[in-house]
Structure 1
């Protein structure tokens, strides 16, 4: 029989039982991979990510799909999808992709390639928003929570002002100004306005940890504030930061979708999943596949990232843990 503990040394025998010591990192990884929802989300997100970036390629790297997302063609069968997943013994035509598995748009563009390009841009924008907002929120929350006083008052009043303005309204203004400059600049600007929730969470953690004995001991021996923040407090806040980052990514793709649908996000000639939905919403009745394919990918990405975040939360916080060590 094996016990999981961090207090005992590896190999210690206790009443006939061998104790296997695990580090905190090992315990977190173990809990995460025992979370079924998190594993499902990780598999789905990895599948969508690999499919999007390997199919049509990215930048100078070519893909395995032979039709470009910018090319036009001749409509065949009103642009209906050629994808078939029903085997012949069940009355289908067999499992095959065909020439245009997701169909064609009004100009004859291959909709699979177009959807993959939209997925690429949406994922890049969402990841950039999550990364930038997490960095900005962590810095502001750490400074406000550790230094207190005037620093905290100024930073938190600024945060309160940002919170009172709806994100969609700020995003629409920023998107209108930055959308024509490309999706990467748009992601940068959106990341700079969506950090407030991360900042408040990190500030709360720092307010709690700065009063702990190990921090007081570090101050007593003259340890610089920067070293205390990054060496002693930040590692103990890492779980909250990582979970907040995954939630920011999920919110980022939904924000980008909403802005692009309203015309304030990614602009042509590039595309995104939200822009595809906005462009072909009028075809929802006559050719619904033009509307549903990007919608399905948005839902899959958002849900998979949320499942990953749920698993990370349970892995870092044993009090909410639903899986056994």
Structure 2
């Protein structure tokens, strides 16, 4: 009887240990979430970014989704009153007409196109490029950094020398070369190639984290039982670097917005007949002194997108920081 009891006792112990690990992991996720939600800058960034995306998508529509704005970014017309904006935000009790959009809230361009619709189309294209670049740069950088950090030796030497060569090339010069080659091939292809040139910082961050994790006990245990290297990397190591990867992705998105704007400003980004926020600034930079709204509106959206994504990245970095052991109540 005593031997039977001894044989059956490990099962509940193992179950309790597994439950304890689940509780610890769940508690850690809750702690990260609480840190992020208590970061005022991150919440502000999420709200601002969400509003920009919502406005850009719902106003003029996207693909099969119709929009609530009745004008198209390609529809030309008669320029009324030098194309001045009709947007009014002056409260009525101050003698103004209150809030109203008017016929052309952001004004009109030289050909009479509604500038609100044009800006929304530019925001859609810039956001599309930013998200694709962020995903591609993060995936490529993560794979290269994890492979170099785990295998070491000649694999690390080759991959990191390639990384050093790409880093040595100025980012704007490399992006400009990509723009010359594929800018006229479509927005998606342009974003994919741009992402292939902006992965280096993610690779270095992930490599540094993997170098420290590969010597941990849980990795040694997995290696000792014959677990394949690719499974160790993707199932054991990378989940423990998710904080760095997420932060790197947000920084890549913010950098992509600014890089695309800079390329479009010099004519190497999005090509007509399509447009982007950077392209709008380029097309109407000569009107800054006489019709500044053609310059200010796309510039304001570029700043809003870049700042909001950076604020979100700061919040994620602080939330995943293991040195943050306390959360204010």
Q: State which of 39, 57, 65 in structure 1 corresponds to 2:61.
A: 57
Distance 1:75 1:245, change over 3 A: same
Aligned-partner SS, 2:103: coil
In the alignment, is residue 69 of structure 1 matched against residue 90 of structure 2?
Answer: no
User: SS of 1:98's equivalent?
Assistant: coil
Distance in 2 between residues matched to 1:225 and 1:23, nearest whole Å: 29
Q: Provide the rounded CA distance (Å) in 1 between the counterparts of 2:299 and 2:31.
A: 37
Residue 201 of structure 1: CA displacement? 0.4
Greater percentage in helix: 2
Does residue 84 (structure 1) correspond to residue 85 (structure 2)? The answer is no
* CA apart distance, 1:318: 3.7
Alpha-carbon distance in 2 for matches of 1:20, 1:151: 35
CA shift digits 1:57-105 (9 cap, x unpaired) = 0112210000000000111111000000001211222110000000000
- The within-5 A match list for 1:29-40 is 29-40=33-44
Cα displacement (A) at 1:307: 0.3
3-state SS in 1 of match to 2:88: coil
Q: How does 1:35-184 map to 2 (within 5 A)?
A: 35-184=39-188
For this pair of structures, how many residues does the alignment match? 310
Is the Cα–Cα contact under 8 Å of residues 314 and 321 in structure 1 kept in the other structure?
no
Q: What are structure 2's unaligned runs of at least 5 residues?
A: 1-16
- TM-score by length of structure 2 reads 0.91
Q: Distance in 2 between matches of 1:90 and 1:168?
A: 48
**DSSP-derived class of the 1:23 partner:** helix
Q: Determine if contact 2:108/2:115 at 8 Å carries over to the other structure.
A: yes
- Give the C-alpha shift of residue 252 in structure 1: 0.5
Superposed CA deviations along residues 24-82 of structure 1, whole A, max 9, x for unmatched, are: 22211111111111000000000000000000001122100000000001111110000
Q: Out of 295, 309, 313, which is 1:309 matched to?
A: 313
Give the superposition deviation at 1:213.
1.2
Residue equivalent to 1:219:
223
Name the residue aligned to 1:283: 287
Alpha carbons 2:48, 2:308 under 8 Å: kept: yes
RMSD across aligned positions (CA) = 1.8
Q: 1:236 to 1:290 in 2, by over 3 A?
A: same
- Residue 260 (structure 2) pairs with residue 234 (structure 1): no
